[in-house]
Amino acid sequence: MDSAVRNFGEPDEVRPAGNGQVSLMEVAGAPVMKIRFEPGWRWSEDVKPIARTDSCQGNHLGYAISGSLGVQTDAGEELTVAAGDVYVIKPGHLAWVIGDEPFEGVEFEARTAQEYAKP
């Protein structure tokens, strides 16, 4: 089957990510990840203990559904990802939720979806 439809109401796996969670599924062989990070979520506090790296080494290609996420690359570049944005964030960065609204997004990146917040 080349075409497929899936719904995040029935993901293949749900992983905790500290003060957030990721829902994962495959759609016609392509990994997709829905993320939800609550206010106060910080990669350095909520995922670093799981990843055991100084910064996130995932490559993120996604679409922001709600909320805002701050990002700082290892090179010092700062970005803000907000609802409606399509984003690419390369390996070597920190991230945190901005404000009082959860950040939700959907990501389409095979390595990230398979390994993100995996012990």
Kindly give the confidence (pLDDT) of every residue in the chain, 119 residues in length, as a single tens digit, with 9 standing for 90 and above: 578 999 999 999 999 989 999 999 999 888 999 999 999 999 999 999 988 899 999 899 999 999 999 999 999 999 999 999 999 999 999 999 999 999 999 999 755 555 565 55
pTM of the complete model: 0.88
Cα-Cα-Cα-Cα dihedral sign, residues 107, 112, 117, 119: positive
Nearest-10 Cα torsion for 61, 63, 68, 72: 10
Q: Measured between alpha carbons, how far is 96 from 50 in angstroms, rounded to an integer?
A: 16
pLDDT digit string, tens, across residues 21-34: 999 999 988 899 99
Q: How many residues are recorded in the chain?
A: 119
- Nearest residue to 46 (alpha-carbon basis) of 61, 59, 56, 60: 56
pLDDT digit string, tens, across residues 5-21: 999 999 999 999 899 99
pLDDT at 3: 87
CB within 8 Å of 78: residues ≥ 6 apart: 70, 71, 72
The secondary element (H helix, E strand) that includes residue 114 is: helix 110-115
